[in-house]
Every structure is written in C-alpha cells, then in structure tokens.
Structure 1
Amino acid sequence: MTFNLKMVEFCVCFMAKLKRWQARLDSIAVRLGLTGNICLGFLFYPVSRGSSLLAAVGLTSESSIRYHIWLGNLVMTLFTSHGLCYCIYWISTNQVSQMLEWDRTGISHLAGEITLVAGLVMWATTYPAIRRRFFEVFFYTHYLYMVFMLFFVFHVGISYALISFPGFYIFIIDRFLRFLQSRNNVKLVSARVLPCETVELNFSKSPMLMYSPTSILFVNIPSISKLQWHPFTIISSSKLEPKKLSVMIKSQGKWSTKLNHMLASTDQIDHLAVSVEGPYGPASTDYLRHQSLVMVSGGSGITPFISIIRDLLYVSSTSACKIPKITLICAFKTSSDLSMLNLILPISTEISSYVDIQIKAFVTREKVSTCNMNIIKTLCFKPHSSDQPISPILGPNSWLWLATILSSSFMIFIIIIAIISRYHIYPIDQSSKKYTSAYTSLIYLLAISISVVATSTVAMLCNKKSYYNKKDQNIDVLSPLMIESSLGQLLPEFTNIHYGERPNLNKLLVGLKGSSVGVLVCGPRKMREEVAKICSFGSAENLQFESISFSW
C-alpha cells in the first residue's frame, strides 16, 4: 500500500514537472518569435537603396548589405528556433494536429509554417558556396520574401505585424520606385570591347543627374536575361562628363561572359535594349582633405579609382583648390588587363599641369607583354526614339520627394483603413460572426499597396514633367573619337609597368611623406588585409586606410 502511494506521488510530481517544462518551452517559443519580429523590423532598412536614412548614418546601399546579411541570419535563427520549440511542444502534449490549424481570429499555425519554409529556402541559398556558384538560384529564390511577408502577416495578424512594418514600408516604396525606373529602356550610346574580356558601356544621361565617385549602377539586358540585374561600378564623373555615364563590366560570370561574346563577335549592333536602376553611392566624398592619395587595386578593382581620378581632374580644371598627389598602384594577372588603363581618361580630357599623377602597373603572370593593348573594338548604337537618358526618378531633390511620398502615402493608408473599418469591418465584428484575421490583414496590405502605388506614381510623373529636359532626348550619338582615350599618350609620361612581379606594398607605402596620406584599396581580400596591416603600424601614423569592397 505504501509502495502504491509513493508511485502515485511520483507520477503526480512527474506530471507537474512535465507541465512546468512544457509551459516554459511555450514561453520561450513566444519570446523567440517576438524577438524575431523586432529584428525583422530592421531587416529591410539596409536594402532600401534609395532611402535617405542610409546616407544619414553614413552608409551606402552596397556597404549596408553586410548588416542585412547579419540581420537575416539572426531573424532566421530566431524564427527557426521558435518553430522548433512549438513542434516539440505540440508533440509532447499530443497536439500534433495544431500544425495544420488556421485560426479565423487568432494565430494561424499553418501560415507560420509556410513563412518558415519560405524563409529557410531563402536562407539556404545565401550560403556563400551556393550564392557564388549558383547566383541565379540565390537571386530568384530571394523573391520568396513576398511569400514570407504575406504569410507572416497571416500568421501573427496585422496588429503584431505592425512592429516590423516601418522598415518594410520604406522598402516597398523604394522597390516600387525602382520598378518604375526599370520600366524604361535607357539610351545606350556606344560600347568598347577591350582585349582583356572587359566591356565598357556608355549611356546618355541627363545633366541634372549627379552622383559621387564609386557609385553603383544596376544593369539589366533582356536579350541576355529578362530577370537578372547586376551591379557595376560607374567609371565616369558626372561633373567631368555631364551627358555621359559609363560602366565597366569584366567577364567573370555567365551573364557578363555572354555580353562580352555578344559584342565581340559582331561588327555592328544597331540597338541593344538596356534598363537600369540607380545610380546608388555615397552622399559625398571628400578626397581633397588628404595631401596625397594612394590607390591600390587588384584586377577589376581599378574601376572605382577611375571615377575618383576623373572627378579630381574636374576639380583641378575648375577650381583653384590644389588636389592631392595621385599614385595608382594596380596589379594585373596578364598584360591584356593593362588595356583597362585606357578607361582612365576620355581623349577629350587633358591632364592639367596642376595634377601630379603617377601610375605603377604590375603584371604578375607574364614577364613580357603578349598583347597589343591598343586593339579596342568600338561599337556605336542607334537608340530608339523611346529610349531615354538616365535620369533620377525623383529629380534632384529626391530626399524631399521621398519624405513627401512616405508621409502622404501613410495618410492615405490611414484614411482608407478608417473608412473600411468604420463601414465594413466594425459592423461585422459587432455581430455574432467575427471578421476573420486573414481578411483583415489582406485589406491592410491592399490599402498599403494602393497608397504606395498612387503616391509614388504621382511623384514620378510630377518630376518627369518638371525636370525632364526634352533636349536630352536629342543628344547625338557620340562618335568613337569622343569616347576613346589615348593610351599611347598616357603610358610613357605617367605610367611605369613592371612585368613578372607583384607590388611590394610595404616598400611602396611605408615612408610616404605628408601629414595625411589617404590609402584606398579595392581588390582581393588578401590585398585589403595586407594594406590594412601596413597602415596600422605605429610608424605609419600618416596613412589613412579606406577599403572599397563590393559584396552584392
């Protein structure tokens, strides 16, 4: 009898502990989901390329990607843990059927599982090995963010989803504005094919479009891929070349290789349809604060420095301000890569006597030149009448227009929801049949979409009418002589080429004179780390290190 009583007491105690453990697991799962919801609220700020918030905190759309990656990993870790905790909870309490439940007025478990599956698919394709080798898979699966956000709202309801909506709201506006810009074909004027399998594309642009050096332009060519957008560094200067915008594209993947073969295998292409998004870049750059600038590049890492050099050349020709001494240290694998030096200057630009520039080029895999660097194929296109110069989607005061769109669209959203709630949702809620959470969420999402589309479209049309100069449509096709540069004149006077050796960065950087020497580096990770290590030495206090890396 005593034994039976002890067994009963043990069972009661065990069940109490089990229920306590299950209650704690339920509490932990709720906290994980709430924390994930808060982190989700910050996830979309870094990928709002045109947002003025990034510039306000000193970030560019490209440099902020790392924060998006960190937040994405954190969000998916929290949401995955949240889902696993509830799966364990339901199994331990014999409530497996809860996994398929879609509550009319409460939390929808099935919608949450769809959200988690969509998130896991996106998360899996962000693994570096997959993203680099199968970029198309990574690119296309990221469109699942629409499924993720839709069912996330269905899962938690619109009230809890509003915690994460400010960042997503800004992203929706930015994404729709980019969609409007990408609907137009831009005026591609010419292209140059270099012997190092590199292509330079020259676009016509509106003179009112201003951008800073190292800016990025997203390019889409439907004849290669209708869905793929790729970012490229702008090598032109909006000040030196007010009616032209140029990008350099190195053949490093399937998309860029197809473009290079397309242009290299034909003597003449009358027209090439191209759409763009951007440009995006830093709000401003202040390279004049240094007494001298040393730019260290590896391979195609020379591209951002071309735009910097062109911008400084403009300053030297229009201002009495003395520009820094410029030293470009560039490392290439083969002598054919030296042809990229052709892109540093347009032929119509002369180096001012006030500019002190020196180029030190290193060819690491060849001891003698095996390529004629002056063999450059030039193609001129005939733009269609519907093609437009690249221009800012919201005009020169884009930050002001963006603020107007945000405030006005939010007010329209509030008015729509107030009317629908008063005359449609409220009468049903007062009856015995409650209005379903999914329908309420869907109405809120539709109201947001309508307000964003209406205000963004009106803003774009107003800017197009006010700022779009009809004369820009009649810009003549640039002749090959106006877009080429003369390597024969540039190399002997300003450039030293070293074959069969790598640059001794320690020897080239240590001991540079001047109270402030800006050291900019763009290239492989190993090169950036080496330069950073040199600049961090105590004896190199005058070296100001800045890394320019692109991780789209």
Structure 2
Amino acid sequence: MAVDDFLHTDPLLHSNGAHANNSNNKRNINFVSLAKWVLKFTMWIVFLAYVALFFLIPTDFGTELYADWTAATNGSLFGDIGSMLLLYSAPIIFIAFLAVLYLLISGEDQLQLQEKKTPRFRLWTFPVLVDGPLGVVSAAELIGIILFIVFVIWSAYVYTVVIIGTLPGDSTPIEKSFFILENLGLRIGTIGLYCLAFLFIPVARGSVLLRLINIPFEQAIRYHVWLGHLTMLLFTLHGLLYVIAWTMEGHLLKEILEWADIGVAHLAGVISLTAGLLMWMTSLYPVRRNKFELFIYTHQLYVIFIVFFAFHAGHFIFCVPAGGIFLFILDRFLRFCQSRKTVDIISIKCLPCGTMELMFPKPANLRYNALSFIFLQVRELSWLQWHPFSVSSSPLDGKYHLCVLIKAMGEWTEKLKGNVLNSSRADLHLQPRTKITASVEGPYGHELPYHLMYENLILVAGGIGISPFLAILSDIFHRTREGKPCLPRNILIVWAVKRSNELPLLSTNDMELICPFFSNKLSLEILIFVTRESQPPLEEGQVHEATYSSPLVSNSNNMSVLVGTGNNIWSGLYVISSTLGFVILLYLLDIFYINPYDISPWWYKALLLVICMLASVFIFGGVVVSLWHLWERRNAAREASMDDRIAVENMQHDEILAHKDSCQQNFLSSANTYYGSRPDFKDIFGDISEKWGCVDVGVIVCGPPSLQTSVAKEIRSQNIRRQCNHPIFHFNSHSFEL
C-alpha cells in the first residue's frame, strides 16, 4: 500500500515542482522585462535631456541654466572641468553604463520571435529618400537629419540675434564688421563643436551604444560620413571667417602663429583644421572610390586632428566632445589588442569565377550571427590595409570555424588570389607551400539576427553580394532542422550576376544536405539574372571545378574573442573599469599636480586630459583585457580535444564540399535563370503582393548603390499605394560602403 501511495503521489510531486518552476520562470521573465523597461526608459530620458541641452544652450534661458549649473558644481571634485564633463560627457558615458547592464540582462534571450498578426510600418525600414546624394534614407534617418539641420539653423539664428544685439553702438562700420566676423566665426565653431560631440560615436565598431540600438557599424558609418561633412563645413567656415577678419585688420600672420597659454591657441587650430581638411577632401566619393588607399592613410590623421583640437580649444571646451572620443578610444584599443593575434587560414577554395572561400579557425565561445562581417589584414600582402568581408557561414555550420567569400576585384584581392594559386601549384609540384596568415577584427554586425524575425523574406543580391545570403539560408535551414526559433517560411532570392561562371557561388552551401526535404517546411524560390550573356554557355551542363588549398596547420591559431560583441560581461567590465580609471587619474592629477603647482595653460591642461583618457584605457582597461585574454587561453586549454574537433570539422567540410560539387547542378536546376535581362522589381514585388497577401515582408539588399536604389524605390512605391490585402515591405541594406 505504501508503494502504491508512493506511485500515486510521485507524479503529483513532480507536477507541483513543475508548477513551481514555471512560476519561478514567469517571475524571472517578468522581473527581467521590468528591469529592461526601466533601463530603456532611463536611457531615453537621459538622451532626450542631452539633446535638449544643445538646443537650449544658445538661448538666454539656456545661458542662465548654464550659469546656475556652473555655480552649483564649480566647487565639486574637479572644479570647472568637472562641471563641463558632468554636463557634456557624463550623459553619454552614463547611457553606455546602462547599455552594458541592458545587454547583460538581455543575455541570450534577446531572440524572442513572435508572429505578428497585423503588419505595420516601421520608421527604420521605410525608405523615404532614394535618389539623393545621401543614398537610401529611411524615415527614422530622415528625422535625425532634419533634427540636426534644425539645430544648426536654430543655433545660427539665435547666435546671430545675440551678435546683432551686442554690437557696439559707437564703433565705426569697419570695427562693426570685425566684430560680426569674429563673433560669427566663434559661434559657428561652437555649433561645429556640438556636432563633433557625436562624430566619433558611429565609428566605434563594437560600441555598446550601437549594439543597444541594434545598428551595426556598416550602417552607422553613414552617419559618421554625414556628420563629418557637416562638422568640417562648420569648422572650415569658422576658420575662414577669422582669416577674413584678421586679414582686414592687417595682422593675419601674427594671429595664425599665436599659441596663447590662457585662451585659444590659434596655431594648434590651424594644424588641426589642416589635418581635418586633408581627411575631408580625400573622403569625398570620387577620391575614396578611385584612391581608396589614399583615403585610408590620410584618415589616420584623426590623431593629429583630435590632439591639436584639444590644444586649440583648451581643457574646458574639449570636455564637450570628450565623451564620444573616449568611447572611440575604448573601441580602438580593444580592436588593437584583438588584431595583434595572427590567425591561420585553415582552408581555401578558389572558384573559376575568381572568388575564394576562406575558412578561419575560431573558439567555440566566439559569438556572431549570419549577417556579421569581419575585417581582414593579410600580412603577406600588406601590414596596413584592412578590408571588410561579410561572413558566408552560419554559426550553426560549425563551432570551430568561420568562412568568408572574397571576390578578386581590386589590387589587394588580386594579390591574395595570386598567393592562393601559387600555394596550390606548389603543392602539386611537392614544393614548400606559401603559408598564409591573417589578422582579424570582429565579427561585428547586428546584435540581433533580424533575418529570423520575418516570416516572409526577399533577398536581393548583386554579384558577390550573395555571400551573406548564403549564411542566412544556412542559418534558416539549420534552425528549421533543429527546431530552433526561426520565423521565415517563404523565401525569394533575386540574384543579378554579370556572367554565368558566378552561378556556382549559390552552391557553396548545399541546403539539401543541411536540411533534407526542406521543401516540405519552407517555400524557397530563386530568380537568377545573368545580365551580360544572352544565352546559356555551351558547357552549362558541366560542373565547374574548383581549386582547393588546405594549408597543413598543426596547431591552428584561433581568432581572438577580444571584441566588444564577444562577451557582455568582459566588455562591460572593460568599459566600467576604464571609466572609473579615468575619474581616478583625473582626481590624482588634480590633487597632486595641477593644484599644487598651479598649472594654468589651457592647452597643457587639455594635453593632461587627453593623457588621462588614454592612460585610463591602457592601464585600467588593459588589466581587464589581460584577464580576458587569460580567460580565453584557459578556456582554449580546457577544450583538450579542440584540435581534433577542428580536424574533424575540416574533414567534414571537405566531404561537404565534394558533395556540393556533385549535386551542384541539381540545386541550380531548381532556380529560374534569365539571360540577357535585369530584374524588373515592379513585376517581382507586384507578383509577391498578390501571392503573399497582407503580411510583413523583410527585404534585405546586398549589392551596389544602383541596386539598392532600385529596390528601395519600388518598396516605397509599393508601400505608398498599398491596398489592405497587400504586404508591407521593409527595406534593410547589408551593403558595406566605406
């Protein structure tokens, strides 16, 4: 009877335990959701207050508030510099701190896929401007652009009114002209200073701020370009107005060469502006496109620009952009630490169309998603050049490797292809092969795999732009087979290529091998447009052979996990420790050097401020990075059979490659190929509207600007004249343009 009682009551105990676990899980989920909401709300409040500050400062009300703030905080720990840092830099750093907490709380549960019953428009994915010089601009981006334009016009108007109102009444017309020019130059420089406060935030590749709002570096770089043009235009006007005023007064050379201890150092400003103009001129599209190396090399003058700007403005004014610059230094130091490690290329496949597939070893805990990209430097080719490439493999393809596709299109990629082919020929003749190593930065990209959040996907590629879509397809097929969160059910691929010899790229991943009978679970349609061939080549039925080169690496050097997107805990500790270190160093400097020795020159105090920023990152942040590196090595050592696993994966990879080649034609035969024509997006999107009905459709484009413009224009047209039973198209660009 006791046994029967036990048998009868045991399930009840399990049931109660399950009930308790469910209750605890729900409680935890509710707590996490509440904490995330509070953090997000706080960050929005701080950000809106920070933006409002820039609009208020030029007004009389803002001037009074600023005076009250200075009076209230001037006796604080760091005096006047503390007031400025708290007002202009602390909000950005505080938001970064909250972003670290937000990412830590979110953890791996960020991918919460919920099918939406009613499609809706989104500001970030609704293209508004498509034909202008800014490229494709979404509604959200347009709001940001308008906000900056309104700020510049508003500030210029208010400052002009102030200048006119303070004109000395008893002065001559020439003296009034000097007064207007110098004061207008000062105020325009102030507006440029406020733009500079945001300039470096978009180029911090692994920044917690970009990860927080899920904007990858490849898209954020556009905002840096726009802000850079605006900032340099304002600074150029600033300097030009002073030059005109000094020329009219007759002491131009004297003023330009002046380096004052108290106040602004003119010569430092001239040096900073000269460096800025060189960067600006070489960043213009014609120069950047035709002389990319010149653009990259001159852009390293940003160090001169920042340092001499600090000398020019002084410690007090340099506090305005210090927050954004500090976050950039944090990112730059981490990138430097990661890129010092060399990575062995463990497998290379060279396709007939001139495209190479490179496989890199990586640790199992290095996180990325199918829309990530990496920066590569091959030291056998150049010690200075870094090139970005989209990842062509899914994280689910293997724990210990990552692949990229590289098409030989420029001088650097042609050299790489030549090295690969020479290495392959050396193998055939039993000669020593050329070892190819690389330094890697990244992976970077979207914090969330947004390609998994649409039930209906359209992937539009031009040429090698198919590379990230191969990763997307592999990711979706793996998830479908393994039952992991994945919404896509209807997928349309539109691929435009110049020549048919590029078609084997589509078979780099064999979907039937990844997910057998995938057609029962997914609807996949492929439209291929071969634009420069009017008919199929005679050898169309033959499989194109690929050249393989698999360097014999006995002890593969993995990619480093020292990257801002790699580990939320370590990257958060790095940001927090560096910031606290900056405060500590600033305090020690103030107590033991500046005050006892009565240091007064503005430019020298600005130099000390910059040194504190750098030292805090190198020393305090460097300690965290060193511990992070030791933790990485310890994890690698703990995986005793890692090399064996990599070898197994490589062997499996070779088998998969062989299988891909054998069934390449079968996969391509399922695609509809059109020769001598380009995709008609009006017809394509029109057919989709009738076929898929009232749903959200995610459109991801990877290709040249002309392709993006064509797709964005049609999406805008379809959305504007949309009927109630038609889908809403969401434009997403995955094209990397420096």
TM-score, structure 1 as length reference: 0.91
Partner Cα distance (1:240, 1:246) in 2: 10
Matched, 1:551 2:727: no
Contact between 1:528 and 1:547, CA under 8 Å: does it hold in 2? Answer: no
- State the 1:510 CA deviation: 1.4
The one of 85, 104, 117 equivalent to 2:274 is 117
- Once residues 313 and 520 of structure 1 are traced to their aligned partners in structure 2, the CA distance between those partners, rounded to angstroms, is 18
Deviation at 1:532, TM superposition (A): 2.7
Instruction: Return the offset for 1:62.
Output: 0.6
Rounded to whole Å, the distance in 2 between the matches of 1:368 and 1:285 is 36
CA distance in 1, matches of 2:257, 2:292: 34
Residues 1:411 and 1:505: Cα distance change in structure 2 (over 3 Å): closer
1:394: how far off? 5.3
- 1:404 deviates by 2.6
Measured after TM superposition, the shift of residue 502 of structure 1 is 2.7
Aligned to 1:496: 672
Separation in 2 of the partners of 1:529 and 1:439? 49
2:493 counterpart SS class: strand
> Which among 502, 522, 529 is matched to residue 355 of structure 1?
522
- CA change 1:518–1:265 in 2 (3 A) is same
Q: Which runs of structure 2 are paired with 1:76-475 in the superposition (5 Å)?
A: 76-96=232-252, 97-267=254-424, 268=427, 269=433, 271-319=435-483, 323-345=488-510, 349-353=514-518, 354-366=521-533, 367-369=535-537, 373-383=543-553, 385=555, 387-393=556-562, 398-429=567-598, 435-467=600-632, 468-470=635-637, 471=639, 472=642, 475=645
Q: Which amino acid aligns with 2:594?
A: I
Cα distance per residue 1:373-392 (max 9 Å; x no partner): 5210111013364x532242
362-371 or 106-115, which deviates more:
362-371
C-alpha separation between the residues in 1 aligned to 2:512 and 2:454? 28
Q: CA deviation at 1:288?
A: 4.2
Match of 1:59 among 202, 212, 215: 215
Cα offset for 1:330?
1.1
Q: 1:206, 1:390 within 8 Å by CA — same for their partners in 2? A: yes
CA distance in 1, matches of 2:511, 2:341: 28
Q: Provide structure 1 residue ranges, at least 5 long, that are not aligned to the other structure.
A: 1-11
Shift of 1:257: 1.2
Pair 57,229 (structure 1): closer, same or farther in 2 beyond 3 Å = same
- For residues 337 and 262 of structure 1, the distance between their equivalents in structure 2, rounded to whole angstroms, comes to 21
The answer for the alignment partner of 2:152 in structure 1 is none
Residues 382, 459 of structure 1: CA spacing in aligned structure 2 closer, same or farther, 3 A cutoff? farther
Matched to 1:508, the amino acid is I
Which one of the candidate residues 655, 662, 667 is aligned to 1:481?
655
The separation in 2 between residues aligned to 1:249 and 1:315, in whole angstroms, is 26
State the alpha-carbon separation in 2 of the partners of residues 373 and 160 from structure 1: 65
CA deviations over 1:29-72 (Å, ceiling 9, x no partner):
11111111111110000000001101222311110011000110
- Deviations along 1:440-484, whole A, 9 cap, x unmatched? 222222222121012332222322333432234565442332455
Partner of residue 30, structure 2: none
SS state of the match for residue 282, structure 1? coil
Distance change (3 Å), C-alpha of 1:394 and 1:365? closer
1:364 counterpart letter in structure 2: T
Give, in angstroms, the shift of residue 212 of structure 1: 1.8
SS at match of 1:506: helix
Matched residues in 2 for 1:419 and 1:390: separation?
Answer: 38
The one-letter code sitting in structure 2 at the alignment partner of 1:507 is D
- Tell me, in whole angstroms, the C-alpha distance in 2 between the residues paired with 1:251 and 1:419: 54
What is the Cα deviation at residue 142 of structure 1? 0.4
SS state at 1:427 partner: coil
Query: Which of 685, 695, 698 is 1:518 aligned to?
Result: 698
- 1:120 shift after superposition: 0.4
Contact 1:347 1:483 in 2 (8 A): no
Pairwise CA distance, 1:520? 2.5
Taking a change above 3 Å as real, the CA distance of residues 13 and 497 of structure 1, as seen in their structure-2 partners, is closer
Matched letter for residue 463 of structure 2: G
CA distance in 2, matches of 1:375, 1:397: 37
- Conserved? CA contact 1:363–1:502, under 8 Å: yes
Amino-acid identity (%):
33
SS at match of 1:107: coil
Q: Which runs of 5+ in 2 are unaligned?
A: 1-167, 428-432
Task: Determine the structure 2 residue equivalent to 1:508.
Answer: 684
Alignment CA distance shift 1:490-1:326 (3 Å)? farther
On the 8 A contact 2:470/2:508 being kept in 1, the answer is: yes
What's the offset of the Cα at 1:504? 3.3
> Is contact 1:336-1:373 (8 Å) kept?
no
Q: CA deviation at 1:15?
A: 5.9
User: Within 1, Cα distance between the matches of 2:587 and 2:606?
Assistant: 14
**CA distance in structure 2 between the partners assigned to 1:251 and 1:381 by the alignment:** 20
| One-letter code aligned to 2:708 | R
Determine which structure has the larger helix proportion and give its number. 2
In the alignment of these two chains, the number of paired residues is 536
Out of 51, 74, 77, which is 2:230 matched to?
A: 74
Would the aligned equivalents of 1:506 and 1:534 in 2 still touch at CA under 8 Å? yes
Q: Deviations over 1:504-532 (max 9, x none)?
A: 33333313222323333222333323323
Secondary structure of the residue that 1:48 maps to in structure 2? coil
- The offset of 1:399, in angstroms, is 3.7
Two-structure CA RMSD over aligned residues (Å): 2.4
Assess, with a 3 A threshold, how the Cα gap between structure 1 residues 418 and 524 changes in structure 2: closer, same or farther.
Answer: closer
**Distance change in 2, residues 1:324/1:347 (3 Å):** closer
Q: Distance in 1 between matches of 2:543 and 2:621?
A: 47
Q: Aligned-pair distance for 1:543?
A: 4.4
CA contact (8 A) 1:520 1:546 kept: yes
Which stretch shifts more, 155-164 or 522-531? Answer: 522-531
Distance 1:288 1:281, change over 3 A: closer
AA at the equivalent of 2:382: S
What is the letter of the counterpart of residue 737 of structure 2? S
* SS of alignment partner, residue 596 of structure 2: helix
